[in-house]
A and B are shown apart, each in its own frame.
Chain A
Amino acid sequence: MIAGCAPLLRVHELSKTFPGLKALDEVSLDVHAGEVVAVLGHNGSGKSTLVKVLAGVHQADAGGSVQVRNAQGRLTAWSAAREELHFIHQDLGLADILSTVENLGLGKPARGRGFAPVHSAAERRHAQQLIARFGVRFDVTAPVGGLSPAQRAIVGIARAMDGWTRPDNVLVLDEPTTALHGDEVRILFDAVRRVAASGAGVVFISHRLDEVLSLADRAVVLRDGRVVADEATSRFDHDAMVKLIAGREVADVDLAGGSGGQPVLTVSGISGEEIHDFSLTLRAGEIVGVGGLQGSGREQLGAMLFGARHRHGGRVEVAGRKLVPGDTSAAIRSGVAYVPADRRRGGAIMDLTVRENLTLPSLRPLRRRLGWIDRQAELAETRTWMRVVDLRPPAPEQPLKLLSGGNQQKVVMAKWLRLEPRVLLLDEPTQGVDVGAKAAIHELVAAAKNNGTAVLVCSSDTKELVSLCDRVLVFKDGRVISEVARAQLTEARLVRDELGLDANLKTDNTE
């Protein structure tokens, strides 16, 4: 933008390699004063790795460089001038029970103040002024937990900017709009524009394409760790952008076609915290995908259907039997299995062994007289399942916490497949597993489908949805905004629908 002047931030050929994965591959980008640069990319494109490297959480590979403009207007190594970069992370890092004034104070070292009272009028005024710079007003003495998401985001930004000695610092916003809706986004964007207008450089990390195009001056698109485009936003149109983000189409995994046996799971008109009026009919031998951005309702669907998360209204029926919310045990007995996204917290019990985890949902068949668990039978069954899911090494007495993520997930899959469920609800089934385990888990899902299990896959990984599913429901703001049949299923299509780019999606898809 401001040519001739040194950029505020220069990232040059930055790479970051994790074992078995090149997360960033020679990424270069410049940020100038007064400029809003959007960094775009889908899940796993390297956006968050970039932020973490800039924030110093990860160490970059040798070879690349990050430079920041110092007070003299020259570029210096970023290790010497890290204070010139300010980060606002997705969760904002605010203490909900403290007021705005107190939260603003958290960032500063309490130099020499010790036990002096903190609620001074001067501090309140200062906070008011800081907030007013963003064109908003609210009670700075109220706990921030009671503020709207946009107001909270502004408190976060104000805190990051409080105490800048000069205006031309760099502000990095990591997915700040995830929790925001409509008007709130507008308020936040207005604040961000004011920051840029005051001479700062803003890096705006997001996957909400439409919003970003309206805010940013320039967009850098990442895919598989590489910069695939770096252009002024005025030169982009939506379709071109979607293609850039999604990349090439992936080859189909061979799934025996033919879906649509008897309806097994019928859901009509249920609602929950984020989801409104959801209905679905899932047939035997069918894999239905659920896509959507973070916060679209996609993350809550599986747990809601299983009864582990609050829901109200409507009905959920499995083969004609009504499921009551809150009773997971009854859901399991009706033939529903649920693999939650968070393996460590909900999927399995890390302190128990492979054997104990595997048999946990159904111990009754192994029970002998006096309530004794038949060890030999249990071990034999464990061996069988370890072979089916190809657990390596097949050590039944290993505590689960000592296994790799992929192996843990295989155990979780085995634990449910053992019950031969009618309905298999999968939430992010391959998150955080290596490529080999991912393929193995996909095969297990396909095998379950061929055995007549009805499968629902909720995933943020569009590639996974495209390769596995017979049809995909796309969530946005708690509602299904489109249903994509296998014939039309491409990553670009899913990305576009998740972003809500087509105005006439509904009519478009009612085939």
Chain B
Amino acid sequence: MKEAQVTDVQAVSSETASQTPTKTQNPQVATESDPWQVRLRRVVAFRNAAALYLFAIMFVIFSLWVPDTFLTASTWRSLLSNEAVTCLVAVGLVVPIAAGVVDLAIGTEVGLGAVVVARLLVGSVPIVWAVVLSLLAGAAVGMFSWLMITHARIPSFIATLGVSSLLTAAIAWISGSQQIVNLPGGFEVLGTGLLFGLTWPFYIMVVVALVLWYVLERTPAGRRIYATGGSIEAAQLSGIRTSRVMLGALVTGGVVAALAGLLLTSQLSAGDPTVGPGYLLPVIAAVFLGSTQFRGGRFNVWGTVVAAYVLAVGVKGLQLAQLPIWIPDLFNGAALLLAVGLAAWRRKPGTRTAWVRRLPWIGRLAAAGDKDMG
């Protein structure tokens, strides 16, 4: 199971190396000329892949501490399957956050998806329609948040916090604050069906991550999302319709959250009105920790996937060590603070000194190169 993850990371690494040679050794031919050793060193630098080092440390610790349970294939199989939903929500949240909106309603959006699909199924709506409608509900929530932010001009934190509370009420109303049970047969396949030993949600997550990675990193739409998140004013002045970009980002986040919610309902065979809010913190922690990985401080899909699993491994290990029940909260909270702190630390000018020191040298080198050419 671990291998699956590592291959993922390598795919990302080689990909990152080709597009972010920021610490250029030779400014003349920035991309191609770097020897692979230099690129590799950059890729495996602690700063670029702290989560992987964290993973290695935790792996060693838990292997020594609780070897009987931690080192079994079933633990890892269930980890990859069970955490796929968290990871999926996190990956969906990357899009609005990259566009500059921290969607605090993401947890309750998951909860909404979970109860809406259950209510529809119990009301004997065909499975396909129930799925489509609950995804549409997620989209509608994203659109509502967007209206609040861009048209009512409410700051995004407050707007999404308010939406979150509205959704909490909606979830209670739809479910009557009860678990919605007696779902029709066949629906549980979505969340529990197995393929090569892993459940469907894992593959669904990978597919969604691939799509979002493609959009964010490879298409004009993604470029516009990052530009909007980078500076909304500058993006507007570059002719980007930032309002549309935000709509797309929030709707994407809403739909993915709703998808995660319905997968949960399928896994549990019940629409649980309490599942949503618990996702908010681990997911935000994963996105922010993920932003410190691979892409030099930029929110990105694969960093988030890795971060989500690394955090999950930590929580799992602590659970296996039979520590008290409050440990996951403690761990996730600490990880969030650490991740955001780490991101701020990267951005601090002081930490760029190595770079700045090298700048004059690069300038001289460039000048010398020009002379050679001329």
Contacts and interface: CB of A to CB of B under 8 A. Distances in A.
Interface of A: 306, 308, 328-329, 331-333, 338, 340, 345-353, 356, 359-361, 363-364, 366-367, 371-373, 375, 379, 392-399, 402, 415
Interface string B211-254: 00001001111011011001101111111110000000000000
8 contacts: A308-B236, A332-B238, A353-B22, A356-B226, A364-B220, A393-B363, A394-B27, A395-B22
Nearest to B227: A349
A349 B235 contact: yes
Given A349-B227, A356-B226, A361 B24 contact: no
Given A395-B24, A397-B24, A361 B234 contact: no
B352 interface: yes
Given A346-B231, A350-B231, A352-B227, A396 B239 contact: no
Nearest to A355: B19
B311 to A, nearest CB: 25
Nearest to A326: B236
Contacts of A415: 238
B362 interface: yes
Contacts of B21: 397
B235 to A, nearest CB: 7
B22 A348 contact: no
Contacts, number: 111
B237 A338 contact: yes
B277 interface: no
Task: Name the residue in B28, B236, B297 with the highest tally of chain A Cβ atoms < 10 Å from its Cβ.
Answer: B236
Q: Give me the 5 closest cross-chain CB pairs, A-B, nearest first.
A: A393-B27, A349-B230, A363-B220, A332-B239, A329-B239
A397 B363 contact: no
Contacts of B224: 360, 363
Given A349-B235, A361-B239, A402-B355, A395 B226 contact: no
Contacts of A346: 231, 233-234, 237
A370 to B, nearest CB: 8
Contacts of B220: 363-364, 366-367, 371, 373
Task: Name the residue in B220, B226, B352 with the highest tally of chain A Cβ atoms < 10 Å from its Cβ.
Answer: B220
Given A393-B24, A396-B31, A402 B352 contact: yes
B238 A361 contact: yes
Given A364-B220, A372-B218, A392-B363, A397 B19 contact: yes
B47 interface: no
Given A356-B226, A395-B24, A397-B22, A308 B237 contact: yes
B27 A328 contact: no
Contacts of A306: 237
A350 B215 CA distance: 21
Contacts of B150: none
B219 A371 contact: yes
A363 B223 contact: yes
Task: Name the residue in B21, B31, B231, B298 with the highest tally of chain A Cβ atoms < 10 Å from its Cβ.
Answer: B231
B297 A351 contact: yes
Contacts of A328: 236-239
B296 interface: yes
A326 B19 CA distance: 35
